[in-house]
A and B are shown apart, each in its own frame.
Chain A
Amino acid sequence: MTVRRLPLSLRLGLVLVALLLGVALLSLVWTPFPADKVRVVARLRPPGAGHWLGTDHFGRDVLSMIMVGARNSLSIAAAAVGLGLLFGVPLGLAAAALGRWGDEILARLGDLVFAFPAVLSAILLTAVLGAGAVNVVLALGLFNAAVLARVTRGAALAVWRREFVRAALALGRGPLSVTRVHVLPNVAGVVVVQATVLFAVAIVNEAALSYLGLGIQPPSPSWGKMLGDAQTHLFNAPLQAVFPGAAIALSVLGLTLLGDGLRDWLDPRQRGESGLL
């Protein structure tokens, strides 16, 4: 028996995502300092022995804030992707099973959601309902549901055309049973890959909204808000604008590598098509 070697992108992605998860989980039990501890006398300290990544304009420890920020960012992205999976996958499966009309309705709904880039719909929602994590999750979740419904539908249609599905139908299985037993397991890989990519997109969008002050609200730390605060102190503490951004970039890099690697691993014919590693 031969064991398929994991693509380099998948291995790198796994390492980075494990690191991100590890930091987020560690922040539940330990951070170097309490992330919300204000010490004005220690404001804007450069990185050093006491504070490894320095302090912000309130004297809060930047490393601790980044650790808690990882947890917040992951929680919001996970909720937004979870919401997308919850609604998008059944919608996509139903559209493929229902045929022409289901398809048409889903396509129009998709067009409508895609008319509002995720950040724009989040801005609209926060304008109406107020800023906050829940509204960000709702807006990003809606966008994710539309993307996942489209991807699921495409993959499910291909499965519906395969012979084993026709055989199951000929044997008297109903559409619901065929969807559950045959279609869902065969589209799961594609959905997982897409969900990984959407997770990365959700992290970026959450950071952008928090940068604008529309996402996670203070005193809860957020990478986007940290960047917004750091921008006003670029002259005194330039490094404060580097660390939170690097945390976002490394997380997104890890997740996109993981998504690309998973796609290559699940479907070796596509290896290199994503153009990566």
Chain B
Amino acid sequence: MLAFLLRRLLTLLLTAWLATVAVFAVLEAVPGDPALVMLGVNAQPDTLAALRAQMGLDRPLAERYLRWTGGLLRGDLGVSLTYARPVADLVAERLVVTLPLALLSLALSTAAAIPLGLLAAARRGRGGDWAVLGFTQLGVAMPSFWIAILLILLFSVTLGWFPAGGFPGWEAGAGPALKALLLPAVALAVPEAAILARVTRTAILDTLGEDHVRTARAKGVGRTAVLLRHALPNALLPVATVLGLQLSFLVAGAVVVENVFTLPGLGRLLYQAIGQRDLIVVQGVVVLLAVFVVVVNALVDIACAAVDPRPRAEG
């Protein structure tokens, strides 16, 4: 296990380093002068020179990269041109929206998907199975931002139960804040739940065919008990793997859904930074999200290897 852990950590560091190189290289590829791109053609020469100095554009490429990554390691993502504030502070402010949104969405999708997968497996080939499979097909086909708009149409415009957008802040109390996050979380959760329910169903059906489950049945254990005590715990490993991997899709989904609901999260910060040509914010947020995805993928691998030694042995 130790050798696997070290190898996986090495891969994690290598991928994270490559991600920083990729983000840096892409932003270096800005046609023309990045400072001019950010400030516009009407910028004053002294403002332009100050920004060039701040971005280190007067220094060699390698030095710029090393300074930038050195800053990253210290938690310094640079200073936003638009907000005139450290990007790290902006990220910290926006995380209090994006993180609860992602966690709420994961909780909702898991809470819906596991019972649905279990139901479909228990009723294989019958009405319940078909209903769940129909939901999973539709859930995967409907983009989360369209689901978000439909939810606004139904619950905000027609019924008036939820706000159509915005975020009151946690200082307004947990109730109003969670109320503002619920519809976006549901919009993100539906496609995730559809995928997860499919995986749960397949994993349970696979487990039902294994010897220990057949033995339990032969010894007279009831069908429901077999499903809950034998099949479900063994099926949770592939479910947990997919759940971890879905976090990266959640990151991408949150960028769009936060904009549908005008939630002041990381996704909205990134979107606004593009409109404002604030490349320092874009660079900081994208590299942070990419490293987050890399770390989550590694943690999923390590957790799976800790539970199931087979992939570890295969290298």
Identify the A interface with B (CB < 8 A): 108, 111-112, 114-120, 123-129, 200, 204, 207-208, 211-212, 214, 224, 227, 230-231, 234-235, 238, 241-242, 245, 248-250, 252-253, 256-257, 273-277
Contacts and interface: CB of A to CB of B under 8 A. Distances in A.
B93 to A, nearest CB: 20
A272 to B, nearest CB: 8
Contacts of B164: 234
Contacts of A242: 150
A271 to B, nearest CB: 12
A117 B267 CA distance: 13
Contacts of B19: 112, 115-116
Contact of A276 (B29, B133, B152, B259): B133
A275 B198 contact: yes
Interface in B1-53: 11, 14-16, 18-19, 22-23, 26-27, 29-31
Nearest to A251: B141
A25 B126 CA distance: 39
Given A114-B297, A123-B270, A214-B274, A227 B149 contact: yes
B248 A234 contact: no
A61 B309 CA distance: 59
A123 B259 CA distance: 13
Interface stretch (B103-111, B213-221, B286-294): B286-294
B157 interface: yes
B61 interface: no
Given A211-B145, A256-B141, A127 B282 contact: yes
Question: Which of B143, B248, B249, B256 is the most central at the interface, judged by chain A CB atoms within 10 Å of its CB?
Answer: B143
Which applies to chain A's interface (DSSP): helix, strand, loop or mixed? helix
A227 to B, nearest CB: 6
A274 B260 CA distance: 32
A175 B204 CA distance: 41
B142 to A, nearest CB: 5
A115 B290 contact: yes
A249 B142 contact: yes
B137 interface: yes
B11 to A, nearest CB: 7
Contact of A212 (B16, B259, B286, B293): B259
Contact of A128 (B29, B120, B137, B291): B29
Interface of B: 11, 14-16, 18-19, 22-23, 26-27, 29-31, 120, 133, 136-138, 140-143, 145-146, 149-150, 152-153, 157-158, 164, 198, 201-202, 248-249, 251-253, 255-256, 259-260, 270-271, 273-274, 277, 279, 282, 286, 289-291, 293-294, 297
Contacts of A273: 202
The 8 lowest CB-CB distance pairs between A and B, nearest first, are A245-B146, A117-B252, A253-B141, A119-B252, A252-B141, A111-B15, A115-B290, A112-B18
Contacts of B198: 274-275
B251 A124 contact: no
A68 B118 CA distance: 42
B294 A124 contact: no
Contact of B22 (A116, A127, A224): A116
B140 to A, nearest CB: 6
Contacts, number: 146
A9 B297 CA distance: 32
Nearest to B278: A127
Contacts of A114: 248, 293, 297
Contacts of B142: 245, 248-249, 252
Nearest to B120: A275
Contacts of A108: 11, 14-15, 18
Nearest to A122: B252
A50 to B, nearest CB: 24
Contacts of B133: 275-277
A245 B149 CA distance: 9
Contacts of A120: 251-252, 255, 286, 289-290
A53 B96 CA distance: 41
A115 B293 contact: yes
A122 to B, nearest CB: 9
B22 to A, nearest CB: 6
A274 B259 CA distance: 33
Given A235-B157, A245-B142, A252-B140, A211 B256 contact: yes
A187 to B, nearest CB: 21
Contacts of A115: 15-16, 18-19, 290-291, 293-294, 297
Contact of A123 (B137, B253, B286): B286
B293 A117 contact: yes
A207 B146 CA distance: 10
Contact of B145 (A125, A227, A234, A256): A227
Given A115-B290, A119-B256, A253-B141, 18 more contacts: A108-B15, A112-B22, A116-B286, A117-B251, A118-B252, A120-B251, A120-B286, A120-B290, A123-B274, A123-B286, A128-B27, A211-B259, A227-B146, A231-B149, A245-B150, A248-B143, A257-B137, A275-B136
13 contacts: A114-B293, A123-B286, A127-B282, A128-B30, A128-B279, A227-B145, A227-B146, A234-B157, A238-B153, A245-B143, A248-B146, A249-B143, A256-B140
